Amino acid sequence: MVWLPLVVVTLPTVCLLWFMQQAVRNERLAVKQRLIELYGQTAARARSEMEQYWVGLSERLSHDLPEEGPAAFKQIVLRRKGEGPAEMRSAVILGPDGRIVYPTILSGSVQRAVEQDQVLLEVMQVEYVLKDYMQAARLYKYLAKTSPDPNIRLAAAAGAARCLNAIGDLQGLVDPVLSVTDSVRLTADTAEYVFGLRLRALEVMADMSIVGLEQQFASILGLALDYDENLLPSSTRALGAWQVD
């Protein structure tokens, strides 16, 4: 009966440890349940607040909202000085049929015109194959002055700028670029190229302190921020505004 005292001493200890283990387990379950309830209440409250926020925001944004996509984007995202911060950092504007009307994408009209103009393609051979940048620049400038197609004139001005840049005549690229971009009527097809060429000229004018910098800066900035006409593709507008800034 030597083992009897051992059992008498050990059994209560074992039972006590078991009850303590169960108590700890029950406490953990209770804490877990309280956390679930707390998180559930917090999530429900956050969802309700978010729904109320979006309903209120939708009502505010739709008040006197223009029908044109760019103008609607401007009203939602931009604020005039003194009107406070904008409601949204960006927005996608859908038309009545559910299609995206703003932001817009590139039109590609200049590229299509280039691919169909045999003379311009031959000049590009002089530039890219023969690598005679001086001769290519002269031919590009001639096309930029004489072509009846504004898309070809713009593409030729861009080619002249590339070639003059390649031979290091940075100051020489400003005049042909500005003369062409000033003569081409701004449309949804031409504005992207005009903007890019003017921006390149602006960079050169800034680096070389050429007269007329402020005028070109104002012209480019005005085009980038003109949402009423919606001439620029969205990506060009955003990149240009960032570079000008």
Q: Which residue has the higher pLDDT, 15 or 125?
A: 125
The Cα 193–Cα 8 span in angstroms is 97
Q: Residue 222, CB half-sphere, CA atoms under 13 Å: how many?
A: 7
Interval 68-109: pLDDT, tens: 777 787 777 775 444 555 567 777 777 777 777 776 655 566
List Cβ neighbours of 183 (8 Å cut-off, separation of 6 or more).
153
Element (H, E) at 177: helix 170-183
Strands 100-102, 93-94: pairing is antiparallel
Residue-by-residue DSSP string for 101-165: EES-----HHHHHHHH-HHHHHHHHHHHTS--HHHHHHHHHHHHHH-S-HHHHHHHHHHHHHHHH
Other Cβ atoms closer than 10 A to 170? 18
Tokens of 82: 């003194």
Fold of 109-244: 1.25.40
To which H or E segment does residue 76 belong? Answer: helix 69-77
Say which residue, 9 or 89, is predicted with more confidence.
89
65 touches 72 (CB < 8 A): yes
Q: Tokens for 29?
A: 């379950």
- C-alpha distance from residue 87 to each of 42, 80, 92, 95, 217 (Å): 25, 12, 14, 20, 28
**What percent of the chain is modeled with pLDDT above 90?**
18
Does residue 140 register a pLDDT over 90?
yes
Distance CA(63)–CA(120), nearest Å, equals 50
DSSP string covering 77-92: H---TTS-S-S-S---
Average pLDDT score over residue span 107-125? 83
Contacts of 13 (CB under 8 A, 6+ apart): none
- Cβ–Cβ under 8 Å, residues 207 and 199: no
pLDDT in tens, 207-235: 877 777 778 777 777 777 777 766 676 66
User: Which segment, 136-145, 202-211, 232-241, is predicted with the most confidence on average?
Assistant: 136-145
**What's the mean per-residue pLDDT of the chain?**
78
At 99 the pLDDT is 75
Both ends of the chain: CA-CA distance in Å? Answer: 95
**Structural domain spans, the chain:** 15-59, 66-103, 109-244
Q: What is the largest CA-CA distance in the chain?
A: 122
pLDDT of residue 146: 92
Q: How far apart are CA 23 and CA 220, in angstroms?
A: 74
Instruction: Mean pLDDT check: name the lowest of 18-32, 147-161, 203-217.
Output: 18-32
